[in-house]
Amino acid sequence: MYTNNLARARLAVLTLAAGLMASVWLFRTAGATATTANAGVKPSAASALATDEKLATAIRNNDAKGIEQLLSDDWAVVATTGGIGEGKSVFPNGIKSGFLVRTAYELSDPRVRLYGNVALVTSQIKTSGKLGGKPFDVEERQTDVLVWKNGSWKCVLTHETKIEPQKMK
């Protein structure tokens, strides 16, 4: 009986070990495939601008999920009021709750500067909608800081500066 139990225990350990080895192999193979899929892809000014435009489209469409996909986990925003919001869910949660609803979000005059795996995309923004139930219609200069990670751009920081309307002389 002791030999039978020992044999069963050894078989269980071998089965567990085989399962773990198979899991490790599958995990490594999946990782290699993902890396291979992005092999040869390099950060560029064009791809940074395309990502920023994709983010603008998600914002314009109040697409919280699309926005979350383009923000890094530690994303932060410096708002036109000087306040700081941190965390990739802050902005999308405002949309999901209905606190922030955009009716327009248009980019113009984009300027892209590439510094290796970091891109600065500065644009003029014309945006309107409702914030906390109150309408807004503003023009601002905005800089998005993008970092190239795992074959794609993620926005890590957004800095907004309000452009005051020209006063009549």
DSSP characters over 111-163: EEEEETTEEEEEEEEEEEEEETTEEEEEEEEEEEEEEEETTEEEEEEEEEEE-
Q: What is the percent of the chain with per-residue pLDDT over 70, rounded to a whole number? A: 75
Confirm whether pTM is higher than 0.85: no
150-166 burial code (b ≥16 CB/10 A, e <16): eeebbbbbbbbeeeeee
Give φ, ψ of 126 to 5 degrees.
Answer: -115, 115
Look at residue 8 and tell me whether its pLDDT is greater than 90: no
What pairing do the DSSP bridges indicate for beta strands 118-131 and 84-86?
unpaired
Q: Please give the pLDDT value at position 7.
A: 38
pLDDT over 70 (residue 112)? yes
The residue ranking higher by pLDDT, 20 or 136, is 136
Asked whether the predicted pLDDT for residue 157 surpasses 50, the reply is yes
